[in-house]
């Protein structure tokens, strides 16, 4: 695979995904079409993370250092976000209450940090998965991948829930994580599939997801049987979302996207944008009333703050995942 092109489409996907994340958090999901499209925002990051991480060997010391760093990020941004949200909501601020919000990732104070916590778990599992990948053939890896999908996604998981531990830490992220590796490492040879067929799979996943979201709001039986315990029906844990995410990832690898210094630079700060935008979310909603203006202002401001923080020694650690 051409490294330059590889890096180019990864950078473009990061930017695409973070834009979807911010727009979703700004409540741009009032219709079924946007709700369905925004469902892939976080899965794309898990796919990229797995695709890159599972191709490398990391020492225990490196994994421990990364996870301690991420725990520090959770603590810092959890406290900061809690204080800002509690102040804006005129709630009494106490150390006990802040610690409670951070430890439980309470909505809306700091529940966006669930993503960072999932990364911590995936980092911990990385050496074990890496050893499994190196010592087993593609068929055995795909079987493991399929089993994880069955026990962690909506559908059969409702019957397996008594024996499943996957839901408590968003175990579906492991499915995207391994899926990213299978695609990026070419362990699954998808290049023989014509582009039109991959496009058809993406359209199929989107239409199924669209129908699913429509039925959730219009059909009582479907609502009672298939509603996941989630705030916005984002459907991360559904098979059509997985199909759409992986198909878009594969399509992006086939598009001759140019590697530019601007795109590479912005992609470097997508994690920072993710952390920063949440603390600015409430002020944005309070003072900017035009819906289309909100992401246009919030994303560049979050990017600018991330760039400025990155220039300060030691302080830059609070926005880096590297």
Q: Residue 232, SS3? A: coil
Question: Is residue 8 within 8 Å of 256, Cβ to Cβ?
Answer: no
Give the residue from 91, 18, 24 showing the smallest Cα distance to 235.
24
161, pLDDT greater than 60: no
Task: Specify the pLDDT at position 318.
Answer: 87
| pLDDT-based confidence at residue 244 (cuts at 50, 70, 90) | very high
- Give pLDDT tens digits for 100-157: 988 888 777 888 999 999 999 999 999 999 999 999 999 999 999 998 888 877 655 4
7-24 pLDDT per residue, tens: 799 999 999 999 999 988
pLDDT band at 30 (very low <50, low <70, confident <90, very high): low
What is the pLDDT confidence band of residue 298, given thresholds at 50, 70 and 90?
very high
State residue 233's pLDDT score.
43
- Angstrom distance (rounded) from CA 225 to CA 200: 28
Determine the pLDDT at residue 170: 63
Decide which of 100 and 223 is more confident.
100
Model pTM above 0.75: yes
93, 87 Cβ separation under 8 angstroms = yes
Tokens, residue 3? 């490294």
SS3 category, 268? coil
Return the pLDDT at 305.
95
The two structure tokens encoding residue 285: 């909603």
How many other CB atoms sit within 10 Å of the CB of residue 322? 6
Per-chain mean pLDDT for the chain: 85
Provide mean pLDDT across the span 181-207.
91
For 120, the 3-state DSSP assignment is helix
Would you call the peptide bond into 108 cis, given omega within 30 degrees of 0 as the criterion?
Answer: yes
How many residues appear in the chain?
Answer: 322
Instruction: Measure the CA–CA gap between 120 and 20, rounded to whole angstroms.
Output: 23
Confidence of residue 232 (pLDDT cuts 50, 70, 90): very low
Calpha distance 227→71 (Å, rounded)? 31
The whole-angstrom separation of Cα 181 and Cα 138 is 11
């Amino acid at each position: 695979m051409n490294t330059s092109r590889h890096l180019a489409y990864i950078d473009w996907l990061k930017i695409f995904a973070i834009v979807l994340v911010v727009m979703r958090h700004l409540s741009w999901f009032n219709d079924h079409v946007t709700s369905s499209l925004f469902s892939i925002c976080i899965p794309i990051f898990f796919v990229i993370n797995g695709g890159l991480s599972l191709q490398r060997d990391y020492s225990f010391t490196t994994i421990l250092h990364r996870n301690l760093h991420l725990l520090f990020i959770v603590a810092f941004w959890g406290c900061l976000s809690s204080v800002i949200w509690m102040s804006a909501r005129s709630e009494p601020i106490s150390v006990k209450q802040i610690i409670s919000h951070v430890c439980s990732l309470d909505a809306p104070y700091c529940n966006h940090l669930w993503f960072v916590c999932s990364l911590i778990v995936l980092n911990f599992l990385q050496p074990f998965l890496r050893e499994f990948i190196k010592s087993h053939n593609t068929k055995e890896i795909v079987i493991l991948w399929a089993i994880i999908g069955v026990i962690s996604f909506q559908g059969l998981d409702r019957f397996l829930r008594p024996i499943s531990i996957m839901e408590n830490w968003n175990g579906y992220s492991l499915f995207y994580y391994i899926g990213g590796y299978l695609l990026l490492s070419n362990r699954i040879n998808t290049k023989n599939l014509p582009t039109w067929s991959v496009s058809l799979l993406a359209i199929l996943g989107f239409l199924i997801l669209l129908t699913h979201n429509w039925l959730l709001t219009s059909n009582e039986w479907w609502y009672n049987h298939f509603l996941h315990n989630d705030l916005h029906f984002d459907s991360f844990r559904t098979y059509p979302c997985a199909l759409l995410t992986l198909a878009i990832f594969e399509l992006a690898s086939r598009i001759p996207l140019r590697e530019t210094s601007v795109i590479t630079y912005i992609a470097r700060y997508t994690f920072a944008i993710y952390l920063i935008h949440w603390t600015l979310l409430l002020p944005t909603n309070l003072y900017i009333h035009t819906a289309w203006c909100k992401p246009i202002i919030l994303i560049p401001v979050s990017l600018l703050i991330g760039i400025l923080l990155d220039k300060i020694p030691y302080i830059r650690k609070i926005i880096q995942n590297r």
